[in-house]
Amino acid sequence: MKKPISQLDSIYITTGSVDRPLAERIANKMGLDLNDDDIKVFPSGERYFRYVESVRGKHVLIIQSLTASKTGSVNDALLELVLMIDAARRSSAAEITVVSPYLAYMRQDRKARGREPISAAAVINLLQTTGAHRLVSVDMHSAQTQAVFDGPFDHLTAEGIIRKALKKRISDAYDNFVVVSPDGGRAKVAEQYAQLLDLEVVHIPKKRDVRDSATIHRPNSVEGVEGKTCILIDDMIDTAGTLVSAAETLNASGARGVIAAATHGLLSGPAIKRIQNSAITELFVTDTLPQEDHKALLGTMLTVIQTAPMTAAALEAIVAGGSVLQLFEGRNYH
């Protein structure tokens, strides 16, 4: 009979300085104590990390999303993660699993123009070269990026927990809602959500200005949304330009309300003000990124969905040699 994860002394779970509350929730769900390791920032801005207990022969789980936080920039978070991996490798850890619910730079997964990098590949190669044996992330912008990593790369999806939250919001009023894709790149995902929620789906075409990529052109109106509450589905919300422009088109088309839902709520730069001044009435995001400040500004308009139970279950399967695929009914590879 296998021991529960909480009884295994070969597991060492730790986190960086980006979002300790999320790491604590994950550790608690696994029945483990999150280690409080030594993290410093020198006056020069350089980072320091040290494991306070021995990790020799242990499976080290490092939880760190790559995002800007109160402790530094996204690049500070990346370097801190690199130092944590390097310290585990040099301290004879048996296995190093990096859990990065949000991996930065993953949108730059190809060369769109000459003489530019493939940043997603550069970051993944950096983590592997430093010593990571396995990567775990949630709803990457392009799942094909897994191919860069020469080892296990578990791609989790928050689709199920987001769908559950939306289903609770819809209740039994299915005729009053419709799923909307804000652009062609999210059409397939929107269709999957619509099918599983038993709703109709509408697609809004989007075209970026050739002279200014920040400018988005939409049709003046779309059919099939009049009198409906529209659910906009996306993988992430950064500056919110795409979602807000889609919401305005839906509002002009007679929509009753607009709900936006995404896994990663970066809400960078002008995003908060744009959302507050837009036709978006409700916002659903997960806690792959810290949301406390966003919640303080958006109040009841923002619903934050917890990913800890999902991530903890996946990590338990990984540690115990079980199947991650079965936890998501195969949908983490869609």
Distance from C-alpha of 210 to C-alpha of 329, rounded to nearest angstrom: 41
78 is written with which tokens?
A: 């990346």
Expressed in angstroms, the distance from the first to the final Cα of the chain is: 34
The catalytic residue among 29, 70, 188, 206 is 206
Active site residue 168: no
DSSP annotation of 175 reads G
Collapsing DSSP to helix, strand or coil, 224 comes out as coil
Give the Cβ contact number of residue 116 at 10 Å: 10
Distance from C-alpha of 180 to C-alpha of 168, rounded to nearest angstrom: 18
Q: Give the phi and the psi of residue 259 in degrees, each rounded to 5.
A: -110, 130
Give the Cβ contact number of residue 59 at 10 Å: 21
197 is written with which tokens?
A: 């929620």
Distance from C-alpha of 125 to C-alpha of 103, rounded to nearest angstrom: 13
Catalytic residues: 206
